[in-house]
């Protein structure tokens, strides 16, 4: 990650806002706590929002090739014991190289404070982020000009006619990639933490194809002449949200894959994974079969008032 520590800390404020918005639906502004030389109690990123003040973050900027260690994590968590406010969840946001031992040790880890209150710890690696659109456009363009060019919110918005065509086409295009059985396997995967190699390959191939379709939309025609890419290109306005939700599921599943779902701490994290899996299934079914909720409500109204 080619930015200095102060820039990384600012990016972490945007990332924390993004994480809270993803999990709660609320738009919450985060800021850097204090300044150099001031007590920070192991915290870097906080919010004044009373409902979410307990969700806090620590930015760990590392030099290229170096890793965040378990000892460093424990040292920072120890500092929080002097923090007077409640902590509900602690996010370690780092550009460190991945470390499987650290990841394993932090699965289900909860820190206990002197007052016997506890909070879970979640590790977020910069390398795991695939979509940088949570960073404001101006900052993204300044810090990461190449990534900004490919970011989701830099794609030109489709006109309404294009969007209508996309939604009409998607029900015939998406099943070429995923069958009902594939979606059912995704939905049930949090209970076993297993996915067939064939489906995992499909998910990866789909993500690559969607990325190529986005590049084609931007005028980069490397793979744009391939029939499957042209199809995805035409359905992007409809299929992009599904691809984004599927990517969120994939990242969470990859963090838990191979672990024992019967482990109580792993089981807790499986509930969040199940929410992601359900979101994939719901979005897929709406795109393929349509959302009939308003039609059903209208039919119910017609039936009710027809009796009077």
- Cβ neighbors of 76 (< 8 A, separation 6 or more) are 42, 58, 60, 92
The model's confidence at residue 234, banded by pLDDT at 50, 70 and 90, is: confident
State the average pLDDT over residues 54-70: 87
State the average pLDDT over residues 45-66: 88
pLDDT number for residue 37: 44
Q: What is the rounded distance in angstroms from the CA atom of residue 170 to the CA atom of residue 240?
A: 11
Q: What is the rounded distance in angstroms from the CA atom of residue 249 to the CA atom of residue 196?
A: 15
Considering only 141-145, 150-154, 240-244, which range has the smallest mean pLDDT?
Answer: 150-154
pLDDT above 90 for 182: yes
State the average pLDDT over residues 168-181: 90
So where are the chain's domains? Answer: 5-128, 156-294
Count CA atoms within 13 Å of residue 28 on its CB side. 26
State the average pLDDT over residues 117-136: 84
Q: What is the rounded distance in angstroms from the CA atom of residue 198 to the CA atom of residue 182?
A: 10
Q: Which two tokens stand for residue 140?
A: 């993204």
Considering only 46-50, 57-61, 211-215, 225-229, which range has the smallest mean pLDDT?
Answer: 225-229
pLDDT number for residue 39: 47
> Exposed (0-12), middle (13-18) or buried (19+): which is 17, by Cβ within 10 Å?
buried
Task: State the pairing for strand pair 110-112/118-125.
Answer: antiparallel
Distance spanning both ends of the chain, measured CA to CA: 67
Higher-scoring residue by pLDDT: 291, 186: 186
The model's confidence at residue 296, banded by pLDDT at 50, 70 and 90, is: low
Architecture of domain 5-128: 3-Layer(aba) Sandwich (3.40)
- Mean pLDDT taken over the chain: 81
Yes or no: say if 97 and 62 are a contact pair by the CB < 8 Å rule: yes
Yes or no: say if 173 and 232 are a contact pair by the CB < 8 Å rule: yes
pLDDT above 80 for 287: yes
Q: What is the rounded distance in angstroms from the CA atom of residue 118 to the CA atom of residue 89?
A: 9
Higher-scoring residue by pLDDT: 40, 118: 118
The model's confidence at residue 200, banded by pLDDT at 50, 70 and 90, is: very high
Q: Which residue, 118, 53, 129, 144, is CA-closest to 94? A: 129
State the average pLDDT over residues 89-117: 88
Question: Hey, how many other C-beta atoms are within 10 angstroms of the C-beta on 158?
Answer: 16
pTM, to two decimals: 0.49
Using a pLDDT cut of 70, give the percent of the chain over it.
Answer: 81
Q: Where are the alpha helices (DSSP H) in the chain?
A: 5-24, 70-79, 100-106, 137-143, 145-150, 160-173, 180-192, 197-217, 227-256, 264-289, 293-306
Residues linked to residue 120 through DSSP beta bridges, in sequence order: 110
Using a pLDDT cut of 90, give the percent of the chain over it.
Answer: 21
Yes or no: say if 78 and 46 are a contact pair by the CB < 8 Å rule: no
pLDDT number for residue 210: 86
The model's confidence at residue 244, banded by pLDDT at 50, 70 and 90, is: confident
Yes or no: say if 237 and 166 are a contact pair by the CB < 8 Å rule: yes
3-state secondary structure of 79: helix
The model's confidence at residue 35, banded by pLDDT at 50, 70 and 90, is: low
Q: Which two tokens stand for residue 170?
A: 């998607």
Q: Would you give the DSSP letter of residue 66? A: -
pLDDT above 90 for 215: no
The model's confidence at residue 38, banded by pLDDT at 50, 70 and 90, is: very low
> Exposed (0-12), middle (13-18) or buried (19+): which is 299, by Cβ within 10 Å?
exposed
pLDDT number for residue 301: 63
């Amino acid at each position: 990650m080619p930015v200095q520590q102060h820039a990384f800390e600012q990016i972490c404020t945007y990332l924390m806002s993004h994480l809270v918005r993803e999990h709660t639906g609320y738009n919450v502004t985060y800021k850097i706590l204090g300044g150099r030389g001031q007590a920070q109690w192991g915290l870097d990123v906080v919010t004044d929002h009373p409902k979410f003040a307990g969700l806090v973050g620590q930015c760990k900027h590392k030099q290229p090739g170096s890793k965040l260690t378990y000892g460093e994590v424990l040292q920072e968590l120890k500092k929080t014991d002097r923090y007077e406010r409640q902590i509900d969840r602690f996010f370690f946001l780092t550009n460190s190289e991945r470390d499987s031992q650290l990841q394993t040790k932090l699965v289900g880890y909860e820190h206990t404070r002197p007052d016997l209150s506890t909070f879970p710890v979640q590790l977020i690696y910069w390398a795991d982020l695939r979509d940088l659109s949570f960073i404001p456009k101006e900052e993204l363009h300044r810090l990461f000009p190449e990534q900004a060019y490919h970011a989701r919110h830099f794609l030109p918005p489709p006109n309404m006619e294009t969007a209508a065509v996309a939604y009409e086409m998607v029900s015939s295009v998406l099943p070429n990639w995923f069958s009902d059985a594939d979606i059912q396997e995704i939905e049930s995967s949090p209970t076993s933490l297993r996915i067939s190699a064939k489906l995992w390959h499909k998910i990866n191939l789909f993500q690559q194809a969607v990325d190529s379709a986005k590049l084609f939309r931007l005028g980069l025609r490397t793979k744009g002449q391939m029939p499957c890419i042209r199809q995805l290109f035409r359905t992007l306005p409809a299929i992009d949200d599904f691809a984004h939700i599927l990517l969120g599921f994939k990242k969470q599943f990859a963090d838990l894959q191979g672990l024992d779902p019967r482990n109580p701490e792993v089981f807790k994290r499986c509930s969040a994974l199940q929410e992601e899996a359900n979101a994939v299934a719901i979005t897929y079914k709406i795109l393929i079969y349509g959302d009939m909720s308003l039609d059903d409500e209208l039919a119910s109204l017609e039936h009710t008032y027809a009796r009077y």
